[in-house]
Amino acid sequence: MRSKYAGQCLCGGIHYSVDVDPVFAGNCHCKDCQRTSGSAFVPAMVFPEKDVVISGEAKYFASTADSGNTHSRGFCPHCGSQLFAKFSHLPGLLGIKAGTLNDSARYVPMLDFHVASAATWDVMNPELPKKQGGA
C-alpha cells in the first residue's frame, strides 16, 4: 500500500511516509525561512509527529524566532536536504518541507503567512489568503 504522503532527501538516506492529512499546509515567507531555503518562501505541511514514519536519522539545528519560540530544522547529515521542522510552541507536531515529497502535487497550501517579510520579488498566488504574521 502506498502512503498518502511520502518523500525523501536528495541522497535517499532519509525517507518518510504519512497516511493522514496535514493539520496545516502553507507557504512561510519569514526571513528565517528565506535564509534557510535560499528562496522566497518555504512550502510546508504540519502533521502529528506520531503519524510520520521516518527511516534514517535527521540532524536538527535549533534557532530562536523573533517570537522567542525555538524552531528546529531537520536535515539529512549526508546531503544537507532540509526535510523537517519542530516548533517549541507546537509540541507533538512535525513540519515537512513540501519540496521533499515524491509527488509534489499532493501539496495544497491553505495560505501564505509572514507576508510582511516577503521578498519584494516574491510572486504569491493571489487566490490564497494572506496573513501578515504567523499561521
Q: In 3D, which of 41, 45, 25 has the Cα closest to residue 33?
A: 41
CATH architecture, domain defined by 5-119: Beta Complex (2.170)
Q: Does the pLDDT value for residue 135 go beyond 70?
A: no
pLDDT of residue 69: 87
pLDDT, tens digit, 9 for 90 and up, residues 36-77: 899 999 999 999 999 999 999 999 999 987 678 899 999 999
Instruction: Give the pLDDT of residue 133.
Output: 80
- Assessment of whether the complete model's pTM goes beyond 0.95: no
Closest C-alpha to 26, from 133, 110, 100, 129: 110
Per-domain residue ranges of the chain: 5-119
What does pLDDT average to over the chain? 94
What local confidence, expressed as pLDDT, does residue 67 receive?
Answer: 74
Mean pLDDT of 105-122: 94
Partners of 63 in beta bridges: 71
Residue 91, SS3 per DSSP: coil
The answer, yes or no, to whether residue 1 has pLDDT greater than 60, is no
- Amino acid 68: pLDDT: 83
Query: What is the pLDDT at residue 111?
Result: 95
